[in-house]
Amino acid sequence: MKRPYEITILFRILATEEETQAAIDQVKAWIEKPTDDGVPQGIVNKIDRNLLGRRKLAYEIDKQRDGLYVIFYADVETNHLTDLELNLKVYTPVLRYLLIRLDEEASKASQPSASEA
Cα distance between residue 2 and residue 5, in whole Å: 9
* Model confidence pLDDT, tens digit, residues 35-66: 888 888 899 999 998 888 899 999 999 999 99
Domain boundaries of the chain, sorted by first residue: 2-110
Overall pTM surpassing 0.95 (yes/no): no
Domain made up of 2-110: CATH architecture: 2-Layer Sandwich (3.30)
The CA-to-CA distance between both ends of the chain, in Å, stands at: 26
The pLDDT, as a whole number, for residue 115 is 47
pLDDT greater at residue 115 or residue 103:
103
* pLDDT band for position 110 (cuts 50, 70, 90): low
Q: For the chain, what is the mean pLDDT?
A: 87
List, as one string, the DSSP characters of the chain: -EEEEEEEEEEEPPSSHHHHHHHHHHHHHHHT-B-TTS-BSEEEEEEEEEEEEEEEEEEEETTEEEEEEEEEEEEEEGGGHHHHHHHHHH-TTEEEEEEEEPPHHHHHHHSPPTTT-
